[in-house]
């Protein structure tokens, strides 16, 4: 098994997630707990608009390498590494982009982003959306291309 490639920073962040999810602090997280939690933490704290729930479930089941019904830290890190850096992640974000590009012109505008996100997460603020636009809009033309989106989500 090849070791997952994560930066120190990512390992630190994922370890914090893991510890937050490991409520009884025994070093393992039941699959069911992880499933419901991941649904809320996918990318940018956005809800689960990017990926069908069944795919997450499958990914989590796959992550339980020793099939003991719980995810241990090393299994968790391995799963996050695969999610972050695999080609399938890029494919997944490209598909997600299409979801936001409502008029299919190849760009995600603030209006499109807002109308999609709002359906799932009513409490998102204009400031949060602007911050996302600002951060993801690499060439600062006020809209997000598919490449900009993928780069941002995978950075």
Q: Does 111 contact Ca ion by CB under 5 A? A: no
Q: Does 64 contact Ca ion by CB under 5 A? A: yes
What are the C-alpha distances in Å from 109 to residues 49, 104, 137, 141? Answer: 17, 11, 10, 10
Query: Cβ 149 to Ca ion, closest distance in Å?
Result: 9
Q: Does 22 contact Ca ion by CB under 5 A? A: no
> What is the contact mask toward Ca ion in residues 132 to 151, using x (rule: CB under 5 A)?
-----x-x-x----------
Count of residues that bind Ca ion according to CB under 5 A: 10
Q: Does 32 contact Ca ion by CB under 5 A? A: no
Closer residue to Ca ion, CB minimum distance, 16 or 105? 105
Q: Quote the crossing angle between the two packed helices 87-100 and 73-85, to the nearest 10°.
A: 60
Q: How far apart are CA 84 and CA 108, in angstroms?
A: 22
- Which of 155, 140, 49 has the alpha carbon at shortest distance from 95? 49
Across 9-62, the runs of DSSP E, i.e. the strands, are 28-30
> What is the contact mask toward Ca ion in residues 66 to 85, using x (rule: CB under 5 A)?
x-x-----------------
Q: Does 105 contact Ca ion by CB under 5 A? A: yes
Q: Does 103 contact Ca ion by CB under 5 A? A: yes
Q: Does 26 contact Ca ion by CB under 5 A? A: no
Q: Does 101 contact Ca ion by CB under 5 A? A: yes
Query: Cβ 56 to Ca ion, closest distance in Å?
Result: 17
What are the C-alpha distances in Å from 118 to residues 30, 137, 146? Answer: 31, 20, 20
List, in sequence order, the alpha helices (H) in the chain.
Answer: 8-21, 31-45, 53-63, 73-85, 87-100, 110-120, 126-136, 146-154
Q: Which residues bind Ca ion (CB under 5 A)?
A: 64, 66, 68, 101, 103, 105, 107, 137, 139, 141
């Amino acid at each position: 098994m090849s070791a997952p490639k994560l930066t120190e920073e990512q390992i630190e962040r994922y370890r914090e997630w893991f510890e937050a999810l490991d409520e009884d602090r025994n070093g393992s997280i039941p699959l069911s707990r992880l499933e419901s939690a991941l649904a809320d933490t996918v990318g940018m704290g956005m809800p689960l608009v990017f990926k069908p729930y069944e795919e997450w479930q499958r990914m989590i089941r796959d992550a339980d390498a020793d099939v003991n019904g719980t995810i241990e830290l090393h299994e968790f890190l391995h799963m996050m590494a695969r999610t972050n850096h695999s080609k399938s992640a890029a494919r997944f974000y490209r598909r997600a982009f299409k979801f936001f590009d409502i008029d299919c012109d190849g760009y995600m505008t603030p209006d499109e982003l807002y109308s999609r996100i709002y359906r799932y997460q009513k409490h998102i603020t204009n400031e949060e959306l602007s911050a996302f636009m600002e951060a993801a809009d690499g060439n600062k033309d006020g809209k997000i291309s598919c490449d900009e989106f993928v780069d941002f989500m995978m950075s």
